[in-house]
Chain A
Amino acid sequence: MAGLKIHGLAKSYRDVRVLENIDLDIASGEFFTLLGPSGCGKTTLLRTIAGFQHQDRGEIIVNGERIDHKPAHKRDIGMVFQDYAVFPHLTVAENVAFGLKARSLPKAEIESRVAESLAMVRLDGYQNRLPAEMSGGQQQRIGLARAMAIRPTLLLMDEPLSNLDAKLRIELREDIRDIQRRLGITTIYVTHDQEEALAVSDRICVMNKGNVEQIGTPFEIYRKPQRRFAAAFVGTMNFLPGRMQGGQLTVGSHSVPFPHGVGTGSVEVAIRPENVLLTGASADGEAIALRGEVRKVTFLGREAHYTLSTEAGEIVAQVADPDRDFIEMEGRPVEVRLPLQKVVLFQSNGDVLSAGRP
C-alpha cells in the first residue's frame, strides 16, 4: 500500500487562488479526512491529486515517487465524484465492472468483485438497471462501488454519502471504514459532516480558503484545536473575550492565575458546551467563575442546552441527563464555572495560546 506526501501545492483558476500552499503527509493505509466549508478547495485538491488538473506548483508523491507527471489513468487513484459521474449508458453492473475491465482481470474475478462491491453498497439485485432508473442516493452508491471495486492504491472520496438518509449514511460509513481497513487502501475522504469526520477518520485535516488550518486525530481536532477556525468549525465552541496580563487571565470581572499563558494582550477564551459547569457542580482545580442568567433551555432528550448570558458574553452549556428542576431554570440567575483545564486561548491572529494545562 501507499503513503502520500504533498509539498507546497498551489492551484489557481485563472487569477483566483483556490489552493494556497498545501502540505500533507498521509501514512499508508490511513483514513484521512478533509473537512472544511463549502468552496474551500476540497474538490480541487482531490482533482489535482487524481491528475484531472495540473497544479501550478508543488509536488505530489506516492510511495516515495513523484506522480505529478504521470497521466491520470496511470496513477491508479480511484475517485468517488461529488456529482456521482455515473455512466448513464451502462447498467449498474457494467458501471462497476468498468474499471475492472481496464485491468483485464479474468471474467470470474470481475463478476465476483462486482457482486461483492454491489453488496457492500446494498445494491445487490439492481445489476441490470440503468442509472436513469435509480434514485440520487442509489446513483451515488454506484459511484462508490465502482471506485472501491478496483482496489486502487489511493482512494479519493468526494462527499460520497451526502445524498443518503441518516441511517444508511451511518451504516455505509462503517462499511466503508471496515473495507478500507481490511484492504488497507489509503483513503482521502471529503465531508461536510463533522460527526462523520470524527467517527471514521484516523486523522482530519481542517481546511479553510485553500489553506490547511489543522491536521490531527479526531481527538486532537476536537479537544486540542490549534487554530480558532478549527475550533469554531468542528463541534460547538463558546468564545468569550478575555485579557492576559502578567500571568493573570481576566474574563468579565474575574481574574485567575494562568501561569502557562505568556505575553500580554487580549485573547479569546474558548470552551466546549459540555465543559461548562453550572451551579452546584464541582470542578477539579481552578476555574473561571462568571455570574449569569439562564436565557433559554433546549431539551434534547439525553442532554439539554442552556443558553446563558453572562457578564462576559453569551455562552452555551450542555448538561447530560438533565433533571426535572434543571429544565425549569429559565430566567434564574446562575453561577457558571469554566474549568481552566478545559479552556483554550486563542490570540487575535487565530493561533492557539495555550491548549489547557498539562
Chain B
Amino acid sequence: MMRRRFRYDLWTFVLIAAWVILLILLIWPLSSILRASLLDNETGAFSFVHYFQIFTTRVYQRAIGNTLIAGFGGMAGALVLGVTLAFVTTRFHIYGRALIQTLAVVALVSPPFIGAYAWIVLFGASGVVRKGLASIGISIPPLYGMLGVILVFAFKFFPHVFLITSGALSAINRSVEEAAESLGVSPARRLFTVTFPLILPAISASALLTFVLSIADFGTPRIIGRDFNVLATEAFNLYGGEVGGNPGMASALSIVLIILSMIIVFGQRWVLRKNVYHSNLIKKPERQHVGGVKSVGLHVLAYAIVLIGALPAIIVVLFSFRRTSGPVFQPGLSLQSYEKVISTVSDPIWNTLLFSTVAVVAIVITGTLIGYLISRRPNIATGALDATLMIPYVVPGIVMGIAFITRFNDPPLALTGTGLIIIMAVFIRRLPYSARSVAAALKQVGPNLEDAAVSLGYSPGKAFMKVTVPLIVPGILAGALMSFVTAMNELSSSLVLYVGSTITMPVRIYLSVMDGEYGTASALSTILLVMTVVAVYAAFHLSGRKESALL
C-alpha cells in the first residue's frame, strides 16, 4: 500500500503553532518543577530523597489517601447533582430555567476562598444555620473534616457537570431514544442503557474535571478540612515558606499530584476509546410537560440543588452590606465596605477585566482550532497534543505560578511582574477547557456536513467557519464562558505571580480574608460576582441566541 501523502493546509500550521505554545508555556516551565523535585535541597545534587520521603512519611501517605478521597468524593457528589439537574432541566418543562441557570453560574463563580468562609459562617462550629437548627432541636455536626470538604466540593463543582452535560443532553438525536422506547425499553432503563452511554463523553469529561478541581483545590481543605490534610495543602504550606519552606519536597508533592491526576485522565481516555457518535442534530429532544406531584418534586429538586450551590455567594452578598468595624461585623446595614473598596482598591477591578478578557479571546481562538484538530484529524501528532493538553488541566495553579516565576525571570523572557505573565498562566491553565468543550461538541456534528460544504466549493477553512463553527457555537460559548468565569476568579497562579501593580480581585479578596477584613472581602467578592454574571449574560446576549447560551 502506498503511503498517504502528508498534505499541508491550515491544520498543519495550527498543529505546529499549538506545539510551540505548549512547549513554551507548559513544558519548559514545568520542567523546572520536575528538576527541583529531583534535587537535594542542601547539596543540590540529583536524588530521589523527596520521593523516598513521601512514601515513607505518614503525614504524606495520609495526604495522598485524603487527596484521593476528596477527589473521588467531590467528583461523585458533583456528578450526582450536576447530571440530575441537567436531566431535569433539559427533559422536563421547568419554570424559571433562566433563573436556575443564573444560580448555577452564581454557584460556579462563588468567589474563591471566601466561599469556604461562607460555609463556615453557615455550618461551622458556631454557624448560623447550625445554631438555628439546634434551637429547634435538630443537631447536625459542624461542617469540618472529610465529609464537609466533600460536600462543599460537590456543591461548588456541580455547575461544571451541569453545563457540560446539559449541552450534550439537549443535542441527542431524539430518534435514538425513541427507537429504544419502541423496542420496549422502559424510560428508566433507557436512561442508563441509551441516554447516558450517548453522553458518556460529556459525563466522563465532567467527572474528570471535577476530580481534578477537587484535588487541586487548597482553599476548601485549608479552611474546612482541619486535620484533613491533602497534597495541595501540604504543597502549599511547603512552598509558602512560612517555616523556611522546602521547595524540593513541595515540588515532589506537586509531581505526585500531577501523576495521580494524569492516571485519572488516561482512565477517562480508556473509557472513551471507542466512543464516536455522530448525529446530525436534526431531531432535538423535547421538554416533557408533567403535572401534579411529579412536577412539584422536579421543581423542588432543581431549585434545591442550585440554591444550596449558590448559598455561599448569597451569604457573601448579604454580608457585604453589613456594617463593620474593622474585622468585626456590627448590627445594621451600610455601604461602608463598598466605599472603602472604591476609594482604596479599584485597580484590581480593571486588572481583572483586562487580564481575563485578553486571556479568554486567546483561549477561545486557540481552543477552537485545537479542539477541531484533536477530534477531526486524529493522528499521532494530534493525539500527543491532546494528551499533553491534559497537563495544564491537572497542574495546581500554585505549581504553575511557581514554574512560571522560575522560568520567565530572566531575559529573553523576563516577564515577572508584568500583566502578561498572569495572562499567560491563565491562558495555558484554561486552554484545555475550551479545546475539550469544542472537541465534545464536534463529536455530535457529523463530519459529512463539512464534506458537503467542501463539495459545494468551500475550502476546508471556509467550510469549517460556515458550517462547523455555527453548529458548535454552543460548545465554543460554553467553553468560553467557563474560561472567562475561571479566568476572572483565578486565584492560585495569580497569587504567586502578582506584584502591586498587577494585583487582581481574587488576590485582593484572599489578602483581605487573610487580614480579617471580611467586609471588604465581601464587597469585593460581590463586585466580582456581579461582573462575572454580567459578562456571562452579555456574551449570551451578543451571541444573539434566543435559547440560553448555557443550555
Residues in A lying within 8 Å of B, measured CB to CB: 12, 47, 50-52, 54, 56-57, 71-73, 76-79, 81, 83-89, 98-99, 102-103, 131-132, 139, 143, 146-147, 150
Contacts and interface: CB of A to CB of B under 8 A. Distances in A.
Given A72-B451, A78-B455, A146-B456, A88 B471 contact: yes
Interface of B: 1-2, 4-5, 7, 9, 280-284, 446, 448-449, 451-460, 462-463, 466-467, 470-471
Closest 8 CB pairs of A and B: A99-B456, A102-B457, A85-B448, A85-B452, A79-B455, A72-B454, A73-B454, A89-B470
Contact of A86 (B7, B282, B456): B282
A76 B455 CA distance: 7
A51 B9 CA distance: 15
Contacts of A102: 456-458, 462
Nearest to A78: B455
B172 to A, nearest CB: 14
Contacts of B449: 85, 87
Nearest to B174: A132
A56 B281 CA distance: 33
B184 to A, nearest CB: 23
B86 to A, nearest CB: 21
Nearest to A72: B454
A142 to B, nearest CB: 11
Nearest to A15: B1
A47 B446 CA distance: 15
B452 A83 contact: no
Nearest to B473: A89
Given A81-B452, A88-B282, 20 more contacts: A12-B1, A50-B451, A50-B455, A52-B451, A54-B4, A57-B1, A71-B7, A73-B457, A73-B459, A73-B460, A73-B462, A78-B455, A83-B448, A86-B280, A87-B467, A88-B280, A88-B471, A99-B456, A132-B282, A146-B452
A83 B471 contact: no
Contacts of A98: 453, 456, 466
A79 B462 contact: no
Contacts of A86: 280, 282
A57 B4 CA distance: 9
Contacts of B2: 56-57
B452 A87 contact: yes
A159 to B, nearest CB: 13
Contacts of B454: 51-52, 71-73
Nearest to A102: B457
Contacts of B4: 54, 56
B446 A85 contact: yes
B471 A89 contact: yes
A143 B453 CA distance: 11
Contact of A85 (B280, B458, B460): B280
Contacts of A85: 280, 446, 448-449, 451-452
A150 B467 contact: no
A103 B456 CA distance: 9
Nearest to B471: A89
A89 B282 CA distance: 9
A139 B451 contact: no
Contacts of B466: 98
A78 B460 contact: no
Contact of A132 (B7, B284, B453, B462): B284
A60 B471 CA distance: 33
26 contacts: A12-B1, A47-B451, A52-B454, A56-B1, A71-B454, A73-B454, A73-B458, A73-B460, A78-B455, A81-B452, A85-B446, A85-B448, A87-B467, A87-B471, A89-B467, A89-B471, A98-B453, A98-B466, A99-B456, A99-B458, A102-B456, A102-B462, A132-B284, A143-B452, A146-B452, A146-B456
A6 to B, nearest CB: 16
A139 B459 CA distance: 24
A132 B5 CA distance: 39
A191 B453 CA distance: 23
Contacts of B462: 73, 102
A324 B331 CA distance: 107
Nearest to A57: B2
Central interface residue in B281, B451, B455, B463, by most chain A CB within 10 Å = B455
B179 to A, nearest CB: 14
Nearest to A89: B470
A79 B282 contact: no
Contacts of B457: 73, 76, 99, 102-103, 150
Nearest to B461: A73
B455 A77 contact: yes
Nearest to B3: A56
Contacts of B5: 54
Contacts of B446: 83, 85
A178 B292 CA distance: 59
B326 to A, nearest CB: 57
B22 to A, nearest CB: 28
Nearest to A56: B1
B7 to A, nearest CB: 8
Nearest to B278: A83
A175 to B, nearest CB: 21
A291 B472 CA distance: 69
A45 to B, nearest CB: 15
Contact of A79 (B7, B280, B283, B451): B451
Contacts of A52: 451, 454-455
B241 to A, nearest CB: 54
Contacts of A56: 1-2, 4
B470 A78 contact: no
Contacts of A12: 1
Contacts of B459: 71, 73
Contacts of B280: 83-86, 88
A89 B280 CA distance: 10
A156 B460 CA distance: 19
A271 B451 CA distance: 44
A223 B186 CA distance: 53
Contacts of A132: 282-284
B187 to A, nearest CB: 23
Given A12-B1, A54-B5, A81 B451 contact: yes
A72 B456 contact: no
Contact of B463 (A73, A81, A131): A73
Nearest to B283: A132
Nearest to B281: A88
Contacts of B282: 86, 88, 131-132, 139
